[in-house]
Each structure stands twice: as C-alpha cells, then as structure tokens.
C-alpha cells in the first residue's frame, strides 16, 4: 500500500514539475536509469560491461552525471565555437521544450580494434535512452552527440594493413568526427546531426564508484583476459547525446494518461484544486502536441 502511494506521489510530482519546467525553462531533459519512470521505476537499463546497483543513488547518479559531463563538452571546451543557447535553440524548435538523452557507457572499443572496425561490426543502436518512457528512433531526429576518449590514431588501419577495410566507404574519412558523422548519416535517416569529439577520456578514479566488470581494461577498452583485481579502471571512452524527436511526444502522452487517472482530491498535501490540476494536464497535452511528426528538419 505504501509503495503504491509513493508511486502516485512520484507521478504527481513529475506532472507538476514538467508543467513548471515548461513555463520557466528554455529546455529540460528528464533523466532516469530505469526504463519506465512512472508509475513505477521499472527495470533498470543495462550498459555494456557495467555492473551497478539500481537501488544505490551513488551508482545511478554517477552514470547520469557521466552523460551530462560528456554531452556538455560541446560548449564547455576552451576552443568551443558553440554555446548552451545554440544547443537549446536547435533542440527546441516548434515549441519542443523537452529533449531526450542517450548514453553508451563505456563506449565499447576492443583494445586491438580501430574505430572503423568497431562501427562496421556494431549491432543495434550506438546509444540507448536514459530518458524514461522514451525509446530513441532512427529517423527524423535533431541530435547532438559527443564522443570522448577515442584518439585519432585509432581511426582506421594504415593503408598497407587495411586489406578489405580500404573498400569501405568510411575508409575515406580522415577523423573520428568525420567517421561518426558518416555513420550517423547512414543509420539515422532524415535527421540533423551535430557531432563533437574530444580526445581525452572520462576519468573514473576515486570517488567514482567501481561499476565496470573484469573485461574493461585500465584505459576503458574491452579486453579478452580478465583484468587483475588489484588494477582499477582509470578512464573510459563515453558517447552521449541529446535529442529532439517524435518519441518524446510518446513519453509526454504516457505521463498525461497516467496522471489523468489520479483522483487529486485524495491528496490534500498538494493543496491543488481540481481545476488547477486539469490545467496542468492540459498544459502537458499541449506540449505533447508539439511533437507531432508533421514537419521536416
């Protein structure tokens, strides 16, 4: 009974929060390591070679912070040619104030592989959503992606070693950024992609929690032989992104539908009249309307 009530309170808080964020922010991004978010959190999302306790805020916040720290490198670098305002402007066209986030943590690059080989053999999507009730699609997206920790000298094989790799169209790419852009152009259709690459990986030294399994090496690459227990992971490559697409409308519709079933009169602690609650629900629905897929990026 207590668990059920907590689920309803979480849903109410989310509904009122979304409404306030819509009014007073330029853009907001719901984050969650669980798939559902409401009314119950749902199953935790799984990341490559990562073992975390979904019930420990220390673990889940470290994962979400890794995504935020990575995707904001776009405008936090000293040599930046972009700003947070630019990013928000691109992602919030047509009144779309909600964006989704994604993460590949750590970015799975075998210790003896190059970037081209990694992408050529990749199965499924590069990243997974860390926004509740929002599974990322592969078309009609506005996406900002940041990859950190893959050095340029691991782009592709040298010409005398390339063999069949030379016949791949991506072999013509001359940088990690160019190759990732080419990959996205082939896998996400009718989409606008903005890619940032950073040479330095993300440090995961103490006090970062030990989340990685024995097949993640000292520098974050995948290794076949188990890593000795006395050696800790020092850094990892990470890929993270922000998105605007119609799937966010599905998330808002789910929130609206779930919240509408609540009898607000039973929750006196919120001191909200039924008319106010209905206005809040209408506001969420109006926001959802902005994600109808009847536009061209």
Give residue 296's pLDDT band: very low, low, confident or very high (50, 70, 90).
very low
What tokens were used for 248?
């966010």
- Evaluate if residue 286 carries a pLDDT over 60: yes
Per this entry, what is the length of the chain? 297
d(CA 248, CA 80): 28
Average pLDDT, stretch 67-94?
A: 91
- Does 240 score more than 70 pLDDT? yes
Tokens of 204: 């995961």
What pLDDT sits at residue 297?
A: 47
Confidence band for 3, pLDDT divided at 50, 70 and 90? low
Q: Is 275 helix (H, G, I), strand (E, B) or coil?
A: helix
CB under 8 Å to 148, separation ≥6 — which residues?
70, 73, 197, 198, 199, 200, 201, 202, 237, 238, 239
Alpha helices in 40-163 (DSSP H): 57-71, 73-76, 84-91, 115-120, 159-162
- Whether the full predicted model's pTM is greater than 0.75, yes or no, is yes
98, pLDDT greater than 60 = yes
Cα distance between residue 199 and residue 177, in whole Å: 11
Cα 4 from chain centre: 28
* CA dist., res. 154 & res. 175, Å (int): 10
Of 136, 154, 132, 140, residue with least CA distance to 220: 154
C-alpha dist (Å) from residue 219 to 50, 96, 116: 15, 38, 19
Instruction: Give the integer Cα–Cα distance in Å for 40 and 6.
Output: 9
Distance of alpha carbon 215 from its chain centroid, rounded? 23
Half-sphere exposure of 46 (CA within 13 A, CB side): 4
Q: Is 60 exposed, middle or buried (0-12, 13-18, 19+ CB in 10 A)?
A: buried
pLDDT tens digit sequence for 108-135:
999 999 999 999 999 989 999 999 999 9
């Amino acid at each position: 009974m207590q668990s059920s009530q907590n689920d309803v309170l979480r849903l109410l808080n989310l509904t009122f929060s979304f409404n306030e964020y819509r009014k007073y922010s330029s853009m907001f991004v719901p984050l969650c390591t669980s798939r559902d978010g409401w009314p119950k959190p749902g199953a935790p999302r799984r990341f490559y070679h990562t073992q975390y306790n979904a019930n420990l805020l220390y673990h889940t916040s470290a994962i979400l912070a890794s995504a935020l720290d990575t995707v904001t490198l776009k405008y936090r670098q000293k040599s930046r040619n972009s700003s947070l305002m630019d990013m928000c402007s691109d992602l919030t066209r047509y009144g779309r104030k909600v964006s989704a986030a994604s993460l590949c943590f750590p970015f799975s690059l075998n210790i003896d592989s190059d970037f081209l080989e990694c992408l050529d053999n990749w199965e499924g999507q590069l990243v997974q959503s860390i926004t509740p009730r929002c599974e990322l699609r592969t078309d009609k997206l506005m996406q900002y992606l940041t990859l950190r920790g893959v050095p340029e000298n691991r782009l592709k094989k040298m010409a005398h070693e390339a063999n069949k790799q030379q016949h791949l169209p991506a072999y013509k790419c001359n940088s990690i950024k160019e190759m990732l852009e080419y990959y996205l152009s082939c896998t996400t259709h009718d989409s606008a992609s903005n890619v940032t690459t950073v040479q330095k990986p993300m440090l995961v030294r103490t006090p970062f929690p030990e989340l990685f399994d024995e097949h993640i090496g000292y520098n974050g690459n995948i290794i076949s032989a188990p890593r000795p227990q006395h050696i800790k992971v020092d850094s990892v490559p990470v890929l993270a992104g922000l998105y605007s697409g119609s799937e966010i409308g599905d998330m808002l519709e789910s929130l609206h539908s779930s919240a509408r079933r609540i009898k607000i009169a039973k929750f006196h602690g919120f001191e909200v009249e039924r008319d106010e609650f209905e206005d809040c629900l209408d506001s969420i629905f109006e926001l959802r309307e902005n994600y109808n897929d009847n536009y061209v990026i």
